[in-house]
Amino acid sequence: MEVSRVIESAAEMTARNAAKSAAVSTPRLVAIAIDAVADAALRAREAEAVTHELRCDACDEVIEGEAAGHGLYVWVRGDEVRREEPPLCACCATAIGITALQAWSIEEEEG
């Protein structure tokens, strides 16, 4: 959800809550956000946390906590060398690491 839409909906909710409170004559405890912008910022941060969950680059599993390992992509565009180290889950990090070690030892044996 876009931040501007969150701010709009939060502002509408606050306005509605204020209208309800004014209509009711008996005092009662109502929990509302201090201001709509702060409420929207909190909601945006929660939405951002959900979308930025860590996923394994090989199998797309959600990674809890720290990544068990990282892959390595290196590519060249003109003179610029770019590298990326995508996160890997424990299973994929182990499988890719062992496969790389095997390929390396075969290469060394062949000379």
Q: Is 60 exposed, middle or buried (0-12, 13-18, 19+ CB in 10 A)?
A: exposed
Q: Is 56 in the site for Zn ion (CB under 5 A)?
A: yes
> What does the block give as tokens for 78?
């003109």
Query: Which structure tokens are listed for 36?
Result: 């709509």
The answer to whether 93 contacts Zn ion (rule: CB under 5 A) is no
Under rule CB under 5 A, residue 59 binds Zn ion: yes
d(CA 83, CA 54): 19
Residue 10 engages Zn ion in binding (rule: CB under 5 A): no
CB of 91 to Zn ion, least distance (A): 5
Binding flag, residue 89, Zn ion (CB under 5 A): yes
Single out the segment in contact with Zn ion by CB under 5 A; choices: 24-32, 52-60, 73-81, 96-104: 52-60
Of the listed pieces 8-16, 23-31, 45-53, 82-90, which binds Zn ion according to CB under 5 A?
82-90
* Smaller CB separation from Zn ion, 11 or 63: 63
Q: Which residues bind Zn ion (CB under 5 A)?
A: 56, 58-59, 61, 89, 92
